[in-house]
Amino acid sequence: MLGDKLRAERERQNLTIKDIEQGTSIRALYIECIEKGEYESLPGEVYTKGFIRNYATFLKLDADAFVQEFNQERHPEAVLQAQEQAAEEPTAKEDSFEMGSDFKVSLEESANRQNKLLIAVICLLVLGGAYFLFASGDDGQVAKAPQQVKQETAVKKEAPKAEQTKVAAVPAKRDDVEVVAKFDDRCWTQVIADGKTLYEGTMEKGKTMSWKAKETVSITAGNAGAVALSVNGQDMGKVGETGQVVEKVFTPAGEKKEADQGNKK
């Protein structure tokens, strides 16, 4: 049992449960439950995995292996099913790349539309100025026409900028939600999109991942201080404090506040 292994390694390193509590910020009561295998006394399975990961990391053990052993002890059939699905479905990295490509294409199309609008306005102004010059029969009026056309052009060129500013001030209504996560340290992470688990494992320092869903994206971080989120282009900052286990749920309308459970102790 994984609890026996953790306790044996702790005793081998001449560490007490109090030492583990101070080094990991995990309550001594929870550490004792993990070593005894009394998982029902812990806050929940997601938080239990975070505790086991932090405990193993503090002892300089393979944290991923201990979390995998916990999954096998609790849900051996689910682990086997997940392995079969992983062999058939694209990886989270491929999904992230595809979503990043779609976002880039969308930006390029928006820029092209704005450029075409500006070119059309300029062409209309040039044609109007030429018509005014040729239609006028008086030399004095013809002489003054270029300055007048130039002034009108300068005024109308400002119009697209004002229009763009007005459009930018009104946030576009989205029918989906996209979450981008940046990791500045190692962090066990679980991501569930529309009820489907897209990722569960340890993210390394320097990684940047993104996930998209129609209704909800739920992200649980075992080391909340190592993760910074951006949701639908809005910077949300760090998820929480270092060593804290935090769950966040986002919808197209923004963060679902009642789902943020924080670090239950």
- Nearest-CA neighbor of 222 among 66, 30, 53, 65? 53
pLDDT mean over 75-92: 68
Residue 97 exposure: Cα atoms within 13 Å on the Cβ side: 5
Does some domain include residue 265?
A: no
Instruction: Specify the pLDDT at position 128.
Output: 76
Last residue of a domain, one of 169, 202, 229: 169
Last residue of a domain, one of 87, 109, 128: 87
- What DSSP letter does each residue of 83-144 carry, written as one string? HHHHHHSPPHHHHHHHHHHHHHHHHHHHHHHHHHHHHHHHHHHHHHHHHHHHH---HHHHHH
Identify whether the C-beta of residue 238 lies closer than 8 Å to the C-beta of residue 225.
yes
* Same domain as 127, residue 83: no
Does some domain include residue 183?
A: yes
Number of H helices, E strands in the chain: 8, 9
CA dihedral of 93, 96, 97, 101, whole degrees rounded to 10: 180
Question: What burial class does residue 122 get, using C-beta atoms within 10 Å of its C-beta: 0-12 exposed, 13-18 middle, 19+ buried?
Answer: middle
Determine which of 39-43, 49-53, 165-169, 201-205 has the lowest per-residue pLDDT on average.
165-169
Give me the chain's average pLDDT, please: 78
* Same domain as 98, residue 127: yes
Does some domain include residue 7?
A: yes
Q: How far apart are CA 56 and CA 64, in angstroms?
A: 9
Contacts of 219 (CB under 8 A, 6+ apart): 179, 181, 189, 190, 191, 192, 211, 227, 229, 239, 247, 248, 250
Per-residue tokens: 145: 């026409």
* Same domain as 255, residue 196: yes
- Mean pLDDT is highest, among 123-127, 158-162, 163-167, for 123-127
Map 138-185 to HEC letters.
CHHHHHHHHHHHHHHHHHHHHHHHHHHHHHHHCCCCCCCEEEEEEECC
Residue in this structure with the two tokens 């239609």, named with its chain if needed: 135
Last residue of a domain, one of 70, 87, 104: 87
| Domain encompassing residue 110 | 93-169
Determine which of 41-45, 126-130, 260-264 has the lowest per-residue pLDDT on average.
260-264
